[in-house]
């Protein structure tokens, strides 16, 4: 991509095309020009993603539609709210937490023919939003999880997830405060199949993390907390998303993002539409605009996450970001483990396991 | 908490006497005044405290999150049975109660001199000192806890100062990210809360009693131990419970400064709501904590017998 201008033209052309298609479709709301469309849409999203940067295409195309955001603080929180009858039209879960929405009839199948940006999404991403052969979710943001470490404090480097349980770094490790993530890490270390963890294996995993607690300085809940700990040098090695890596790199902190021999973990954020919403048309327009380029560029540039629109990813020129996404090293993607979907039983058992780790004597 | 006040009956004893107190005559009927003043807070308490509490109770008898809240479901004691069989949660509840006790006692002991000073030595400036005491409340709770992170951290105020004085070479690591940090931070946070009821109790003391004590030959220390302290005890216990009850369920401070080993019972409840999508179990844990706190407070009030203190 040689210039931003050409992208801008593509975007404009898209908007024109979108307008034409919508006008041509006829019937219902489509008769109204986008600029005059009114209404309101309710979105259950994560803190930060309510900023206009992350739905700028929708805002610009439908300036008279009101978008109300409600904030969920975790996947569990968002699922629990939807299960308890939250009336949000659109919600934003991540891989691992998708199956129950379908099983419990909380999510509507998406008519992708209504999404003008759908063909820019690579197939392997599309598949992540499919359950039982139907497209229930559209993929949006994605990234890695791996071990992030200070290169000056761990000069020998990190080549395995086992660094998070290495007594050599005692008092200087920080694990993410999340049960399923702990099971994932242990599975990688021991070569377990994450989807078929037995009760015995889970009991062993619990004991390991109880022992790990004395090496762990604190469990981080949000990226800023982790960034602060690594900047001060209190934390040497941590479970981390590449957002923290990119932030620390940009701040000049000597860090590296490991390529563990067990492979990195990878996650994808998706958007779903609540079953029974009366705002289906607006919700689809919102999702389509979420896939558009200006919005995607903001995801990449402001939060350092990947975006499911391939044109956005192809347009990355910033060296820090290229580094963070390992764009020049496609072999990393081949050894990445995508987060599998949890069953309701696994979710309950793994989160309870983690609570017991934290409550252990 | 009952306070000794001239007996002003809330309801008129005889019908018809209601609105006509001697010298009254104007204004609303007393019964009407009562309802007028009580309905808004009662409504607030009902809508935003009692109903949510009841919903939580209902949730604690659900088998899981599936299905509509008002849909058909069989009440079950599964959550309570699961909780009963997990020893580490009970242990943590005990630890949380002990931690809350230590924090409450420390906060009360530390705030007593402050209240004493404000009540008897503040003079014209007492109001100004009281404002100073309340200044921290102008910033958010979270900010005050974060400030302690800056105080206790390896590059924090205490460590930097000790290194500057050459007393230590390496920063002390035991200051932050453990249960001590939680206790220190919470004592600080609660001191103003504990001060206010003690101050109120001290201000109610009739100062002529001090003169009487002095006339009868009591030295200042005896005067304090025999007159001031006993008369201020209701305020001391009020301060204690004002700190103890919310601290048993505290979760924000352990999250920020407690590290891997600093979790309290409240953190586990929070995890079941926000990280586990298991509201029924979190609700059962909350109900057990609520019941436990009520039992402790009831026992304590029985033992101490506040009424005796007040009369």
pLDDT at B101: 95
The confidence band for B161, taking pLDDT boundaries of 50, 70 and 90, is very high
Q: Please name which of A94, A125, A145 lies closest in space to residue A269, comparing C-alpha atoms.
A: A94
Write phi, then psi, for A70 (nearest 5 degrees): -120, 145
Q: Are B277 and A351 a contacting pair at CB < 8 A?
A: yes
Judged on CB neighbours under 10 Å (0-12, 13-18, 19+), B40 is exposed
* pLDDT in the model for residue B91: 95
Q: Could you give the CA distance from residue A345 to residue A350 in angstroms, rounded to a whole number? A: 8
Q: Looking at per-residue confidence, does A6 or B71 come out higher?
A: B71
Please report the pLDDT score of residue A13 as a whole number.
54
The reported pLDDT for the residue numbered B26 is: 53
**Cβ–Cβ of A358/B281 closer than 8 Å?**
no
Q: What is the pLDDT of residue A33?
A: 85
Q: With an 8 Å Cβ cutoff, are B89 and A179 in contact?
A: no
Residue A265: strand pairing partners: A145, A337
* Residue of A321, A7, A266, A327 whose CA lies nearest to A124: A266
pLDDT value, residue B15: 44
Residue A10: pLDDT band (50, 70, 90) is: low
Q: Do A76 and B277 touch (CB under 8 A)?
A: yes
Structure tokens given for A107: 């999510």
Contact B276 A179 (CB under 8 A): yes
B45 to each of B34, B38, B40, B241, how far by Cα in Å?
16, 11, 9, 20
Strands A65-72, A39-46: pairing kind: parallel
Which segment of A15-19, A160-164, A171-175, A237-241 scores lowest on mean pLDDT?
A15-19
The pLDDT-based confidence of B29 (bands split at 50, 70, 90) is: confident
The span from the first CA to the last CA of chain B, in angstroms, equals: 13
Q: How confident is the model at residue B12 (pLDDT cuts 50, 70, 90)?
A: very low
Residue among A41, A45, A54 nearest A284 (CA): A41
The ipTM assigned to this model is 0.82
Element (H, E) at A144: strand A137-150
Residues of chain A with C-beta less than 8 angstroms from the C-beta of B173: 171
In this structure, what token pair is assigned to residue A160?
């395995």
Q: For residue range B244-285, list pLDDT tens digits in order.
A: 999 999 999 999 999 999 999 999 999 999 999 999 999 999
- The answer to whether B254 touches B100, Cβ cutoff 8 Å, is no
State the pLDDT confidence band at B27, using cuts at 50, 70 and 90.
low
Mutate to test the interface with A, among B92, B276, B283, B288 (most CBs of A within 10 A): B276
Which of B61, B254, B255 minimizes the C-alpha distance to A73? B255
**CA–CA gap between residue A142 and residue A265 (Å, rounded):** 11
**Which of residues B61 and B310 earns the better pLDDT score?**
B61
CA triple A226-A227-A233, angle to 5 deg = 90
CB A341 within 8 A of CB A99: yes
3-state helix, strand, coil in chain A (%, to 5): 50, 20, 35
Q: Which one, of B238, B239, B251, B234, lies nearest residue B99 by Cα?
A: B251
Query: Token digits for B264?
Result: 């309290």
Would you state the structure tokens that stand for residue A311, as one six-digit string? 């044109």
pLDDT, tens only, A51-97:
999 999 999 999 999 999 999 999 999 999 999 889 999 999 999 99
Average pLDDT of chain A? 89
Element (H, E) at B52: helix B51-60
Minimum distance, in Å, between the CA of residue B158 and any CA atom of chain A: 16
B276 and A344 within 8 Å at the Cβ level: the answer is no
Interface test with B, best of A355, A356, A361 (most B CBs within 10 A): A355
Return the DSSP state at A320.
H
Q: Which of B275, B283, B286 to mutate: most A Cβ within 10 Å?
A: B275
Q: Nearest-CA residue of chain B relative to A178?
A: B275
Residues in A touching B273 (Cβ below 8 Å): 77, 80
Q: Which residues contact A137 (CB under 8 A, 6 or more apart)?
A: A93, A98, A107, A110, A128, A129, A131, A270, A271, A272
pLDDT at position A29 over 60 = no
* Closest to A185 measured CA to CA, from A356, A46, A350, A305: A350
Cα separation of A361 and B256, whole Å? 20
- The two beta strands, A90-91 and A255-257, are unpaired
The residue to which tokens 């201000």 are assigned: B203
Instruction: Name which of B56, B62, B57, B59 is nearest B75 in CA terms.
Output: B62
Range list of H helices, B26-86: 30-45, 51-60, 78-84
Banded model confidence at residue A120, pLDDT cuts 50, 70, 90: very high
CB B64 within 8 A of CB B280: yes
pLDDT greater than 90 at residue A227: yes
Q: Which of A218, A348, A356 has the CB atom closest to B278's CB atom?
A: A348
User: Does B28 score more than 70 pLDDT?
Assistant: no
Q: Output the six-digit token pair for A142.
A: 């994605």
Residues of B in contact with A83 (CB under 8 A): 65-66, 277
Asked if B275 and A218 come within 8 Å (Cβ–Cβ), the reply is no
Yes or no, beta carbons of A234 and B255 under 8 Å apart: no
The confidence score (pLDDT) of residue B308 equals: 59
Whether A347 and B276 have beta carbons less than 8 Å apart is answered as yes
Among residues B184, B164, B186, B189, which one has the least CA distance to residue B174? B184
Global pTM?
Answer: 0.84
Give pLDDT tens digits for B214-254.
899 888 899 999 889 999 998 999 999 999 999 999 999 99
Taking only the tens place, the pLDDT of each residue in B169-223 is: 888 888 899 999 999 999 999 999 999 999 999 999 988 998 899 899 888 899 9
Longest dimension (CA), chain B: 81
Instruction: Give the residue, B47 or A331, on which the prediction is more confident.
Output: B47
Are B177 and A218 in contact (CB < 8 Å)?
yes
**Tokens read off for B144:** 């005050």
């Amino acid at each position: 991509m040689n210039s931003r201008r050409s992208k801008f033209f593509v975007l404009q052309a898209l908007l024109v095309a979108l307008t034409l298609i919508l006008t041509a479709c006829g019937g219902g709301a489509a008769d109204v020009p986008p600029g005059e469309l009114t209404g309101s849409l309710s979105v259950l999203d994560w803190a930060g993603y309510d900023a206009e940067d992350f739905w700028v295409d929708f805002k610009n195309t439908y300036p008279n539609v009101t978008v109300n955001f409600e904030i969920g603080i975790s996947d569990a929180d968002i699922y629990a709210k939807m299960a308890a009858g939250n009336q949000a039209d659109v919600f934003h879960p991540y891989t691992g937490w998708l199956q129950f929405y379908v099983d419990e009839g909380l999510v509507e199948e998406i008519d992708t023919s209504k999404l003008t940006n759908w063909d820019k999404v690579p197939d392997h991403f599309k598949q992540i939003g499919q359950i039982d052969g139907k497209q229930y979710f559209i993929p949006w943001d994605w990234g890695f999880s791996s071990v992030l470490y200070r290169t000056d404090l761990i000069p020998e480097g990190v080549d395995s997830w086992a660094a998070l349980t290495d007594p050599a770094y005692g008092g200087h490790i920080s694990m993410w405060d999340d049960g399923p993530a702990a099971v994932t890490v242990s599975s990688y270390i021991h070569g377990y199949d994450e989807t078929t963890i037995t009760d015995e294996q889970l009991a062993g995993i619990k004991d390991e993390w109880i022992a790990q607690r004395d090496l762990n300085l604190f469990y981080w809940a949000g990226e800023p907390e982790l960034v602060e700990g690594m900047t001060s040098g209190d934390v040497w090695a941590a479970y981390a998303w590449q957002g923290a890596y990119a932030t620390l790199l940009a701040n000049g902190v000597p860090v590296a993002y490991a390529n563990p021999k067990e492979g990195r973990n990878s996650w994808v954020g998706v958007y779903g539409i609540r079953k029974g919403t009366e705002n289906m048309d607006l919700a689809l327009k919102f999702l389509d605009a979420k896939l558009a380029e200006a919005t995607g560029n903001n995801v990449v540039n402001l939060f350092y996450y990947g975006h499911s629109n391939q044109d956005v990813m192809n347009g990355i020129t910033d060296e820090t970001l290229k580094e963070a996404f390992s764009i020049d090293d496609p072999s990393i993607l081949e050894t990445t483990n995508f987060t599998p979907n949890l069953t309701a039983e696994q979710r309950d058992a793994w989160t309870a396991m983690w609570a017991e780790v934290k409550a252990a004597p | 908490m009952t306070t000794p006040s001239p007996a002003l009956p809330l309801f008129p004893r005889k019908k018809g006497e209601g609105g006509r107190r001697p010298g009254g005559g104007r204004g609303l009927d007393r019964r009407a005044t009562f309802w007028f003043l009580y309905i808004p807070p009662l409504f607030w308490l009902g809508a935003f405290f009692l109903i949510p509490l009841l919903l939580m109770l209902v949730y604690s008898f659900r088998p899981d999150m599936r299905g509509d809240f008002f849909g058909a479901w069989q009440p079950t004691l599964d959550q309570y049975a699961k909780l009963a069989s997990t020893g580490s949660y009970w242990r943590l509840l005990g630890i949380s109660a002990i931690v809350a006790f230590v924090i409450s006692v420390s906060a009360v002991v530390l705030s007593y001199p402050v209240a004493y000073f404000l009540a008897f030595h503040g003079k014209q400036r007492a109001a100004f000192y009281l404002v100073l005491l309340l200044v921290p409340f102008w910033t958010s709770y979270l900010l005050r806890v974060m400030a302690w992170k800056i105080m206790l951290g390896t590059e924090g105020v205490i460590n930097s100062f000790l290194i500057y004085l050459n007393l230590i070479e390496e920063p002390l690591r035991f200051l932050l990210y453990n249960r001590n940090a939680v206790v220190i931070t919470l004592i600080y946070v609660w001191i103003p809360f504990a001060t206010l009821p003690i101050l109120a109790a001290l201000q109610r003391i009739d100062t002529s009693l001090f003169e009487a004590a002095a006339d009868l030959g009591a030295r200042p220390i005896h005067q304090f131990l025999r007159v001031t302290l006993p008369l201020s005890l209701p305020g001391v216990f009020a301060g204690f419970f004002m700190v103890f009850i919310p601290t048993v369920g505290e979760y924000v401070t352990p999250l920020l400064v407690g590290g891997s080993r600093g979790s309290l019972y409240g953190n586990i409840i929070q995890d079941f709501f926000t990280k586990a999508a298991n509201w029924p179990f979190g609700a059962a844990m909350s109900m057990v904590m609520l019941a436990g706190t009520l039992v402790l407070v009831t026992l304590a009030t029985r033992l101490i017998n506040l009424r005796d203190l007040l009369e």
